Structures are given as C-alpha cells and as structure tokens.
C-alpha cells in the first residue's frame, strides 16, 4: 500500500467555509510557513478566550433546551505562523499594539490541555512570542471580522523547523469454548465495528474543522442524541461477554476436576496478562515516539493528533503500564481509548475473585449473586447523585477539544470498572445458568422468575430508551434522572444476558449462523489488536490531511471504512508476529517454570 494512496485518503477530509463569526478554528498554512521561512519558521497552536457576551450563542434557535451542546463561542483555536504575525505587528504603532494587547482574565471552564507534559519545550516560546501572538490575534479579529471585543491568547504548543534539543526516543518502557457460543466472535466483530465508527465520528468533533456549525447542527439532532447515549451499550455488551465466557470456562474446568489444580486462579490471571500486555505495551511505546518516527512529517493537524499524544504518553505511561488509566484520579490520559483495557482487566480480576468464592462456598452462590447485583446498581447511582450528573452520555462541544477526556460523565461513570460490575455479573449469571441447564440441574421452562424477567425487561428497556431526548430539553426532577439511570444502565445488561440464555435454549437462526462463519470467527480473533491499533491509524490518517477537516457524513464514512480496513490489515501481522508468538513463548515459560524444568 503506497504512501501516496494514504495521502489521497487524508485529503478527502478537507473542507469548506463556515458561517460562525469569528470562526472557531482559524489556521495559517503550515506548509507555506515552513517553505517561506525555512529554518526560522515557528508555528504555534493557540487558544483564544474572548470577552463575548454569550459564550454559547448560536446561529440556531434552541430555546427550551436545557443541556447546551454547542461549541463555546468565546473559545477560539488559532494556528499561527509566528513570522507572519511579526510582519503584521511591526506595522502597528506602539499605541495600537498597547491597545490590542489583552491581559489574562479568570475563566471558569477548562480551555486547554495541561501543558506540564511538555512545559520545558514550551517555555522559550511562551517567553518570546506570548505578547506578540496576543496582539496579532486581536488585530486579526478586528481587521477580518470587525469585532468590538478582544481576547486573551494562550500558547498551547509550538512547532519549529529548527531541530529540538533533547529529543530522544522513549526507551525505558517497559477457541471458542462450546459450539453454543461460536457466534460470540462474530458478535465481537459487529460491536467492534460500531465502536470504531463512533470513534471516527468523534474525530471531527475533537479537531479543528472549517464548518463547526455543521458539527453542532449534527450533535443537537435528536437522532445524534440517541446515538451518543446508546453508544455506551457497546462497551457494556463487551463486559457481559467477558463475564459469560469467564464463568463458562470455570464451571467446565470445575466439572472436569472438582478439586482444581494448585495455582488455578493465579494461572488464569497470568494467562490474561500474557494475552493483553505484549500488543498493548508495544503500541504504548509507539504512542510515545509516534511524532518522531522515521518518515513521519507533521501536517497542519500533527500537533493535535501526534505531538500532544506523544508528550502526554511520555509523562503518564506508567498509569497505562499499571492498567489503572480508566480510574478518575489522573488528570490526562495517554492512549485514551485504552481505558477499556484497564477496566476490562480490573473486572476480570474481580471475576476471578467471584469464581474463587463460588468454588470455596458453593452453597452461597445465590446470595452472592444477589449481593453483587445490588452493589452494582447502588454504587453508580450514588456516584451519579454525588456529582449531579446526567443519566446518559452527552456530547458537549465545550468538552470536545479534549476528546471528552475531562468530561465528568465519562470519567466518573463510563470508564471506572466499579461502575460496570453490573455487566460482568450479568454475564456471569448467564454463564452459570447455561452450565446448570446443560447438565440437567435447572429447567428454565419451570422458572417463573425467568419469564418474569422477560416480561419486565423488554418494556423497561423500551421505557429507558424512548425518553432520552426529554432529558436534553426539559428540567427533569432529580429523582427522575436517577430512576432513568437505573433503568438505562441495567436493562440493556438484562436484555443482552437474556439473549444469551435464549440462544443456548433454541436452535441457531440465520443471524447466529452468520456470526459463526469462518470469516467472522477469524476476524473475531483480530478484534483485540485492531482495537488497540485503530486510534493510531486514525491519528496518522488525520496527520496526512493537508488542511483542516470537513465535517460531513461522507467524510466520516470514508474515514471509518479506511480505519476499519487498515486496522484489521495491520492487525494480521501484529497477531502473527507479536500476539501469538510472544504469547506462546510466555506460556511455554510459565509451564516449564511450574514443572521445575530449566527454562
């Protein structure tokens, strides 16, 4: 696959003219700046906070809308060719420069990333160009858009054609179970595709676009609100799959060997780490050096998609290494999508503990499950109430410049493992019922509770989904938000787990046959690698774009198709050269070390 073809793909994300005045994203031409000023060229990414009267004013009429989803109109993002600014400012008189300079003033919202991650590199630029850029930006706002108010400009990062001192690579970082569940791999593929599409949809919301008004219009559409809220279902389904397979595997082993071999639970944990860590750590290393890899030339959006990530990862890599990057105790995330891997591992460890308790106290299974269900409902409800959050995930453009990294709903509700226990436990209950049913210890046809759950879960699930838009528009009482949250977060789990139970109780239909085909099960084995890789693929594609992005369904579809194709294509050598061989070597080492033979 040629580099030129990738460049064409990147170029499809170009753009048109916006109607928000002043434009939220105003970028100088990086290529022209470099070619015109050669080694002297300095290109800075700047956040501009203005004294606009209404920071959320919009060209659309959204009266009666409770949740404001638009971009902040008083937060602008400029990319400045510093040498052009110098030529503009030098033409101004001293009095004009003094008038145009605007001192920093206090604001109550997050407007930029934590620059401590690259503070040493940034300091010289702050000292030399902060005042210049402040004056230059206000001059442009006056001259181009006839603004009657000024703004304060703050440099977030700068690129220079001159070689950067001290730039060094980061070198210190370290079968299907039963035929009944053959469709699970295919289900993983479908859900993984849905997640990748959602992430591609987020790209134009997170990066500078020339038509932000179109992005806003899309976000506030009723369909988009439903889509954003329902996006959380995909992760919950993945966690139910983990719980289901974990329980089925364990009960199969326990049925064959009731006493279990010494170190059984420890071996399960080690095997899980062997499965996850080689590929994850390899691409974590790539993320820390991605902007300086051979052949990588930064484009206009290179800072946003490569450099910023690289700096964050160089500082926060240890959080990912310890697999705690999903917990809400850390300010900035490296490889943000890897939060799922941390949450999944933590839930796996909890699942192993639950299995140990079932093995140790087999008569307490029913009470244990009921206690876990109650805890898994109560904990997230308490957190939601404490922070005063909404019942569903929302997409607010005031949070989008940070990839929603600091969004309280994602940090406090969506990502922590302890708020997803319901999914794990639901999957484990389904696996437990499967085992009892398969071995003649349970007849669900005689269970009133099973039929009650079907009769209750379907209308409760529908009731949780239908009113989503009302919570965006009206001032809903707090108790209603909490009740809706309970239904919305738990009925999807109940429906999915009842679906698993129905699948092993009934003959295969065409959907399960399709999901069980060889191509789907093969792609299912590549899901993990493709998930780890796909955000890096997106970043490199966006870096190839010669201009700012254009938000439209066509561009998002193109980006999704390219990302999915490249992610799975790259995941094949990753699976064959890293995931499988490294896993085999480590498992062989584990077996030999247990047997006492020389490794």
Residue 168 above 50 pLDDT? Answer: no
Residue with more model confidence, 401 or 168: 401
Q: Which comes out higher in pLDDT, residue 310 or 590? A: 310
- Neighbouring residues of 225: CB distance < 8 A, sequence distance ≥ 6: 219, 394, 468, 469, 472
Collect all residues with Cβ–Cβ distance below 8 Å to 73 and sequence separation of at least 6: 20, 24, 52, 54, 55, 56, 57, 58
Give yes or no for residue 9 having a pLDDT over 80. no
CB 524 within 8 A of CB 571: no
Asked if 552 contacts 214 with a C-beta cutoff of 8 angstroms, the reply is yes
**CA-based Rg of the chain, rounded to a whole angstrom?**
26
156 and 180 assigned to the same domain: no
Q: Is residue 528 part of a domain?
A: yes
Beta-sheet pairing, 151-160 with 75-81: unpaired
Asked whether residue 15 is assigned to any structural domain, the reply reads no
Tally the C-alpha atoms within 13 A of residue 168's C-alpha that lie toward its C-beta.
4
Task: Determine phi and psi for 13, rounding to 5 degrees.
Answer: -95, 20
Please give the model's pTM, rounded to 2 decimal places.
0.83
Last residue of a domain, one of 139, 160, 181: 160
Query: In this structure, are 269 and 132 located in the same domain?
Result: no
Co-location of 155 and 185 in the same domain: no
Instruction: Write out the residue range of the structural domain in which residue 394 sits.
Output: 169-592
Tens-place pLDDT, residues 576-594: 999 989 888 888 887 777 6
Question: Do residues 151 and 102 make contact, with C-beta atoms less than 8 angstroms apart?
Answer: yes
Residue 166 has pLDDT above 50, yes or no: no
- What pLDDT score does 7 carry? 40
Structure confidence by residue, pLDDT tens digits, 273-297: 999 999 999 999 999 988 888 888 8
pLDDT score at 26: 92
Q: What is the pLDDT of residue 599?
A: 47
Given a cut of 70, is residue 63 above it in pLDDT? Answer: no
Predicted local distance difference test score (pLDDT) of residue 65: 66
- Angle, helices 30-37/82-90, rounded to nearest 10 degrees: 70
12 domain residue, yes or no: no
Q: Which of 60-69, 421-430, 455-464 has the lowest mean pLDDT?
A: 60-69
Q: Is 546 in contact with 183 (CB distance < 8 Å)? A: no
Q: Are residues 229 and 142 in the same domain?
A: no
Q: What's the pLDDT score for residue 162?
A: 66
pLDDT of 592 reads 72
pLDDT at residue 372 is higher than 90: yes
- Same domain for 146 and 179? no
DSSP codes of every residue in 296-330: ----TTHIIIIIHHHHHHHHHHHHHHTT-TTSTT-
The pLDDT, as a whole number, for residue 13 is 42
**440: confidence class by pLDDT, cuts 50, 70, 90:** confident
Lowest model confidence (mean pLDDT) among 37-51, 192-206, 494-508 = 192-206
Model confidence band, residue 53 (pLDDT cutoffs 50, 70, 90): low
Q: 115 and 257 share a domain?
A: no
Higher pLDDT, 330 or 140: 140
- Does residue 468 form part of some domain? yes
**134: Cβ contacts below 8 Å, ≥ 6 apart:** 100, 101, 102, 152, 153
Q: Is 273 left (phi over 0), alpha (psi -120 to 50) or beta?
A: alpha
Q: Cβ(245)–Cβ(181) under 8 Å?
A: yes
Would strands 75-81 and 42-50 be described as parallel, antiparallel, or unpaired?
antiparallel
Asked whether residue 37 is domain-assigned, the answer is: yes
Residues 245 and 388 in one domain: yes
565 and 493: one domain? yes
Residues 75 and 200 in one domain: no
DSSP calls for 492-504: HHHHHHHHHHHHH
Angle at 562 between CA 326 and CA 228, to 5 degrees: 45
Considering the chain, what is the average pLDDT of its residues? Answer: 86
Strand partners, 78: 26, 46
Distance CA 388, CA 489 (A): 16
β 25-27/75-81 pair status = parallel
Whether 525 shows a pLDDT value over 60: the answer reads yes
Query: How many independent structural domains does the chain possess?
Result: 2
Task: Please report which confidence band the pLDDT of residue 52 belongs to, taking 50, 70 and 90 as the band edges.
Answer: low
pLDDT at 279: 94
In a domain, residue 152? The reply is yes
Q: Which two tokens stand for residue 276?
A: 């996850």
> How does pLDDT run across 357-366, given as a tens digit for each residue?
999 998 999 9
Q: What is the pLDDT of residues 170-180, one digit of tens each?
A: 333 334 654 67
Give the model's confidence band at 183: pLDDT under 50 very low, under 70 low, under 90 confident, else very high.
confident
| Residue 315 is assigned to a structural domain of this protein | yes
**Per-residue pLDDT tens digits for 389-429:** 999 988 888 887 787 888 899 999 999 999 999 999 999 99
How does pLDDT run across 76-116, given as a tens digit for each residue? 999 999 999 999 999 999 999 999 999 988 888 888 888 88
Same domain, 332 and 381: yes
Q: Is the pLDDT of residue 149 over 90?
A: no
Range with the poorest average pLDDT among 244-248, 381-385, 506-510:
506-510
Q: Both 237 and 129 in a single domain?
A: no
Position 10 scores a pLDDT of 43
Residue 80 CA neighbour count, 13 Å, CB half: 33
Pairing status of strand 42-50 against strand 151-160 = antiparallel
β-strands 42-50, 25-27 pairing: unpaired
Mean pLDDT over residues 482-491, rounded? Answer: 95
DSSP state of 209: B
As given in the structure block, the two tokens for residue 100 are 């145009």
Q: With 50 as the cut, is the pLDDT of residue 349 above it? A: yes
Phi-psi domain of 68 (left: phi exceeds 0; alpha: psi -120 through 50; beta: other): beta
Domain stop point among 140, 160, 180: 160
Q: Is residue 63 part of a domain?
A: no
CA 274 to chain centre: 23
* Domain stops at, among 131, 160, 189: 160
Q: Domain check: are 99 and 215 in the same one?
A: no
Q: What are the CA-CA distances from residue 312 to residues 332, 506, 516 (Å)?
A: 7, 50, 40
């Amino acid at each position: 696959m040629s580099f030129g073809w990738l460049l064409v793909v990147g170029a499809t994300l170009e753009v048109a003219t916006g109607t928000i005045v002043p434009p939220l994203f105003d970028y100088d031409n990086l290529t022209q700046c470099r070619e015109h000023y050669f080694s002297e060229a300095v290109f800075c990414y700047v956040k501009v906070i203005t004294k606009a009267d209404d920071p959320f004013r919009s060209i659309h009429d959204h009266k009666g809308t409770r949740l404001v989803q638009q971009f902040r109109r008083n937060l602008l993002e400029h990319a400045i060719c510093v040498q052009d600014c110098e030529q503009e400012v030098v033409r101004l008189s001293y009095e004009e420069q003094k008038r145009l300079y605007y001192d920093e003033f206090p604001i109550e919202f997050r407007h930029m990333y934590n620059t401590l991650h690259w503070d040493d590199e940034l300091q010289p630029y702050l000292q030399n160009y902060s005042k210049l850029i402040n004056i230059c930006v206000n001059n442009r706002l006056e001259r181009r858009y006839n603004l009657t108010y000024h703004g304060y400009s703050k440099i977030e990062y700068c690129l220079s054609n001159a070689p950067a001192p001290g730039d060094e690579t980061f070198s210190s970082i370290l079968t299907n179970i039963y035929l009944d569940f053959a469709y699970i791999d295919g289900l993983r593929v479908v859900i993984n595709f849905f997640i990748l599409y959602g992430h591609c949809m987020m790209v134009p919301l997170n990066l500078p676009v020339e038509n932000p008004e179109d992005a806003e219009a899309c976000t506030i559409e009723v369909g988009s609100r439903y889509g954003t809220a329902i996006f959380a279902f995909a992760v919950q389904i993945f966690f139910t799959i983990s719980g289901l397979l974990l329980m089925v595997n364990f009960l199969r082993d326990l049925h064959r060997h009731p006493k279990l071999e010494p170190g059984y639970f420890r071996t399960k944990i080690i095997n899980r780490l062997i499965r996850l860590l080689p590929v994850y750590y390899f691409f974590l290393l790539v993320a820390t050096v991605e902007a300086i890899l051979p052949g990588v030339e930064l484009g206009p959006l290179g800072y946003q998609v490569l450099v910023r990530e690289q700096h964050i990862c160089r500082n926060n890599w240890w959080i990912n290494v310890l697999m705690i990057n999903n917990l809400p105790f850390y300010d900035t995330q490296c490889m943000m999508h890897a939060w799922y891997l941390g949450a999944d591992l933590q839930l796996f460890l909890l699942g192993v503990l639950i299995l140990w308790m079932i093995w140790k106290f087999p008569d307490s299974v029913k009470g244990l499950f009921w206690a876990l269900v109650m805890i898994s409902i109560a904990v997230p409800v308490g957190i939601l109430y404490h922070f005063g959050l909404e019942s569903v995930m929302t997409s607010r453009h005031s949070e989008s410049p940070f990839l929603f990294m600091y969004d309280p709903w994602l940090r406090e509700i969506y990502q922590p493992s302890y708020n997803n226990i319901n999914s794990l436990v639901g999957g484990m209950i389904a696996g437990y019922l499967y085992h009892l049913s398969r071995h003649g210890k349970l007849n669900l046809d005689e269970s009133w509770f099973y039929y009650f759950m079907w009769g209750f879960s379907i209308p409760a699930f529908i009731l949780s989904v239908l009113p989503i838009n009302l919570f965006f528009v009206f001032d809903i009482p707090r108790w209603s938000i909490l009740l809706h949250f309970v239904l919305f977060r738990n009925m999807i789990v109940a429906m999915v787990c009842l679906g698993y139970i129905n699948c092993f109780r009934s003959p295969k239909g065409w959907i399960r046959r399709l999901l069980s085909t060889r191509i789907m099960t093969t792609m299912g084995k590549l899901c993990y690698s493709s998930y780890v890789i796909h955000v890096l693929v997106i970043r490199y594609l966006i870096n190839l774009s010669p201009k700012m992005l254009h938000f439209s369904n066509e561009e998002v579809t193109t980006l999704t198709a390219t990302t999915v194709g490249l992610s799975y294509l790259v995941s094949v050598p990753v699976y064959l050269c890293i995931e499988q061989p490294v896993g085999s070597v480590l498992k062989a080492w584990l077996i030999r070390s247990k047997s006492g033979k020389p490794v």
